[in-house]
Amino acid sequence: MAVTKVSMEALRILDPLSSFLDARLKELADVCCIEQVHRTVDPFDLRPIAGQSVYVVRGELALVYGQGSSEVIVGGSAEARHPLGKRRLFSSAKAVTDVQLIRIDDDLLDIMLTWDQVAKHEQAGTRQPAERTPSGTDWGVMSGLFGINNLRFGAFSQLPPAHIDELLRRFERVEAKAGEVIIREGAEGDYYYLVESGRCQVERLIGGVSITLADIKSGDTFGEEALVAETKRNATVTMKTDGSLLRVAKQDFNALLREPLLHGINMEQARQKVSEGAQWIDVRYPSEYQYDRLPGARNIPLSEIRNAFGALDMSEEYIVYCQSGRRSSAAAFLLAQRGYHVFVLEGGLWGGDRLP
């Protein structure tokens, strides 16, 4: 089966990808491919669907369900906007015509959805002035902070999702001039930095000679090693141009990284609480919620959770969930900070059996 690169336009019409900004769609397009499947072939014989969101882009794909029922998904149709098998499991598939598919890793997609929704909180400007994040910062397009590689493998991949919102709030903007030293080799670690604009140069003394190690551009981050490893700075970072930096203090970064404050429960415990009157809150997008919500669940997307402050009953208990637990953890943190009695379904809908 041949593969070709996917376009932003192809991703833009899919749910829940349609919520992403162009910068995010471009990143996703760079790591996705269109898979060409010939007529009569089952595309999942050689490449299973488990752990992936798969979309039909073009052609007709027949899905066979339990008890012999079947359905044909046609690329470009309303049904093809949604990933295969998420609302109803199928036993086999066969290409009725030549078919084009897009496959996206479920874990990657869930990470991106989590950060995307939290970023939209911050851009909405719903905080009081004293609480707001650095004025004018567009978190949704900060490639360093929100870049795919950083979310999956960088320092922020270790951050409990519940603390994302608080971390963004604690960033402080610092204007810097060309030639200004931001970090000096051998100094104690004090801040973690994100370059909002401008460029920096990283240098290290080797054998008494200063060696340039790297250039840092807008969107890149630096300074995490000394904070996480509790060591001194191992390089000097100097501004090459005038620019603007966002920084968060060591104590805040470490506290948010290492001290999760959530109360997680498993499905059995959640079932018991629901029988006693607790309420489900589904914090996914409506396009996800409509197909596999838990019985009685209320849909309050993470990006809208602030609008629920004051509307939810403070005397009630709530159990929030999403696909994996990432978005629900972030929502639970926000609710808990306002005094709500809230629990997170551990592992989300992927973590165990659903309620009947």
Q: Are residues 97 and 145 in the same domain?
A: no
pLDDT of residue 11 exceeding 80, the answer is yes
CB 129 within 8 A of CB 104: no
Q: Are residues 160 and 216 in the same domain?
A: yes
pLDDT of residue 259 exceeding 50, the answer is yes
Q: CA–CA separation, 301 vs 307, rounded Å?
A: 10
The answer to whether position 188 is within a domain reads yes
Q: Are residues 200 and 269 in the same domain?
A: no
Average pLDDT over residues 54-63: 96
Q: Are residues 284 and 189 in the same domain?
A: no
Catalytic position from the list 32, 33, 200, 322: 322
The answer to whether position 80 is within a domain reads yes
The answer to whether position 179 is within a domain reads yes
Q: CA–CA separation, 225 vs 211, rounded Å?
A: 19
24 vs 38 pLDDT, higher one: 38
CB 278 within 8 A of CB 218: no
Domain that holds residue 334: 264-350
The answer to whether position 355 is within a domain reads no
Chosen domain end from 215, 230, 258: 258
pLDDT tens-place string over residues 122-162: 555 544 444 445 545 555 555 555 566 656 655 465 566 66
pLDDT of residue 288 exceeding 70, the answer is yes
Q: Are residues 251 and 291 in the same domain?
A: no
- Residue 322 catalytic? yes
Average pLDDT over residues 344-354: 80
- Residue 292: enclosing H or E segment and its boundaries? helix 286-292
Q: Which CATH number fits the domain that encloses residue 158?
A: 2.60.120.10
330 Cβ partners below 8 Å, 6+ apart? 114, 117, 118, 161, 162, 164, 165, 283, 302
Which of 5-9, 18-22, 155-159, 283-287 holds the top average pLDDT? 283-287
Question: If you write DSSP's letter for every residue of 142-177 in order, what string do you get?
Answer: -HHHH-HHHHHHSGGGGS-GGGHHHHHHH-EEEEE-
Q: CA–CA separation, 155 vs 160, rounded Å?
A: 11
Burial class (CB in 10 A: 0-12, 13-18, 19+), 2: exposed
pLDDT at 127: 46
The pTM of the whole model exceeds 0.75? no
Question: If you write DSSP's letter for every residue of 185-252 in order, what string do you get?
Answer: TTSPP-EEEEEEES-EEEEEEETTEEEEEEEE-TT-EE-HHHHHHT----SEEEESS-EEEEEEEHHH
| 257 confidence band (pLDDT: 50, 70, 90) | low
Q: What angle do CA 99, 105, 108 make, to 5 degrees?
A: 145
pLDDT tens-place string over residues 320-348: 999 988 888 878 867 876 778 899 999 89
The total of structural domains in the chain comes to 3
The answer to whether position 119 is within a domain reads no
pLDDT tens-place string over residues 271-282: 999 999 999 999
Q: Are residues 198 and 278 in the same domain?
A: no
Backbone angles phi, psi at 41, to 5 degrees: -90, 140
pLDDT at 3: 56
The answer to whether position 313 is within a domain reads yes
